[in-house]
Amino acid sequence: MKQILSLFVMLIALAAAAQSSSHKYITVVAEPDHSDWTYKVGQQATITAYAIKENARMKGVEISYSIGPDKLDATKTGTVKTDKNGVATFKVPGMKVPGFTSVRVKVKYEGNEYTSMTNLAYDPYSIQPTTTMPDDFNEFWDKSMEKAAQVPMDVIIKHNDKESNAKVDVYYVRIQSYRKGNYVYGVLSVPKTSGRKPAILRLPGAAVRTFHGPNELANEGFVVLEIGVHGIPVDQDEEMYRQLETGALAGYTSQGIDNRDTYYYKRSILGCVRAIDYLCSRDDVDAKRIATYGGSQGGMLSIMTAALDKRVKCLFAYFPAYCELGGYYYGRAGGWPHMFRNPNEPNLQARLEVSRYYDTVNFARRLKAPGFYAWGFNDPACCPTSTFSAYNVITAPKQLHVGRDTGHWLYSWQIDLAHKFLKEQLNVK
């Protein structure tokens, strides 16, 4: 018992040490004069800059700043020194068109640098995408789905005794998809309650990894199928995934991009639709109450699946990737994975054309299902210029909940509201 207690105390100490070491010694802040960080096009902003050390503002410290369009090079730089109250100010010119301006501040202290970023929004709900929908966009995807639907599912399902509990059964599943011999793998969490239940297709962010159950949403009454997108089992040792991530699947986001039929994500997207097929085939799932759910790459796939499959009744997508893939080509920010930044890229025009069939913006244009969306202004991966480009073309019922200072993460209140939305849309008490 003493050994267990000692181990417990040690784990607490290690966790506390990790938490304290992750806290910045100095926090540097760029505070806009608009509390919502939002301005009209052409409106000048005033930034109050300061640095905090041990909960006190630092007096007489030099703060460097840079200003420029979201994800692009700075167009203005300078320095200011904090006054006797520990603050300094500088001006940010207004943008000429709707978009985001990044304000970065930096303090050097005792050989270390401390930085932060504040993204100012200029009429963000007026941002329009640069990408356009190909004339045969719908035909391409409808025919692709029609062909994939002819492939038998050939499901293999295996109960996982170790991960199951008194309330939820956990299974690992393999579903044939897209073409013979190609599979979707995932982990299925099924509440141990009677009757047909609502279902959620949980879609993953960008990574090559394992998946485990039970999914927490199963405790709230949902059947949850969480799938991978790489066509590989999701219950293997971590070492296998690390080898794939640095080997065969390194840079998978650009594999096959010279042709719309060979691009990596075609199989992944059709695999998501096949996962909906599987959920609808289950006796314990109410096929009229299905949602998609995911962030980043998963947010992209959540939008894409809901746009392609009318059986999806609602969706939750947070900081979706793949919005405005050609943005950099047109001189503005593009979304993750930030393609086409090199104007000398081989076969650039053909690749840009292929990207139009995979841009989240063009799927967003097709959406009919109600959606809950969430992100922040400071996301460096799925930058706000790109995510607003997609959100603004959605004509389906929608709601967006912004945590302005969030990066590539959400606050718990955003997630709580999203879960409430899903329950209301899918009639879960």
Distance CA 338, CA 326 (A): 9
Q: Count, in order, helices (H) and strands (E) of the chain.
A: 9, 18
Q: Which two tokens stand for residue 79?
A: 């320095």
Low-confidence ranges of the chain (pLDDT < 70): 1-23
pLDDT value at residue 24: 83
Model pLDDT for residues 287-316, shown as the tens digit of each residue: 999 999 999 999 999 999 999 999 999 999
Task: Report the candidate in 203, 192, 132, 199 with the shortest Cα–Cα distance to residue 164.
Answer: 192
Q: In this structure, are residues 173 and 186 in contact, taking their beta carbons and an 8 Å threshold?
A: yes
Cα separation, 226 vs 3, in Å, equals 38
Predicted pLDDT at 21: 39
| Domain 24-126 falls under CATH 2.60.40.1930 | yes
Strands (E), 325-391: 371-375
Closest C-alpha to 49, from 26, 20, 75? 26
Q: How many CB atoms lie within 10 A of CB 248?
A: 12
Element (H, E) at 8: helix 2-22
Q: Is the pTM of this model over 0.75?
A: yes
Position 429 scores a pLDDT of 82
Name the token pair of 406: 């969030």
Give residue limits of the domains in the chain.
Answer: 24-126, 137-425
Determine how many CB atoms are found less than 10 A away from the CB of residue 6.
10
pLDDT confidence of residue 17: 39
| pLDDT digit string, tens, across residues 114-147 | 999 999 999 999 999 999 999 999 999 999 999 9
Q: Distance between CA atoms of 153 and 180, rounded to whole angstroms? A: 9
Residues 6 or more apart from 161 whose CB is under 8 A from it?
Answer: none
Average pLDDT over the chain, rounded to an integer = 94
Please report the DSSP string for 388-429 in residue order: HHHHTT--SSEEEEE-TT--SS--HHHHHHHHHHHHHHTT--
Active site residues: 296, 379, 408
Of the chain, the end-to-end C-alpha distance in Å amounts to 43
Q: What percent of the chain has pLDDT over 70?
A: 95
Q: Following DSSP, what letter does each residue of 126-139 receive, concatenated?
A: G---S----TTHHH
Closest CA to 49 of 69, 67, 28, 70: 28
Q: Give the count of beta carbons closer than 10 Å to the beta carbon of residue 164.
A: 17
Residue 424 in tokens: 């209301």
Structure tokens of 165?
A: 């509990």
Length of the chain: 429
CATH of the domain spanning 137-425? 3.40.50.1820
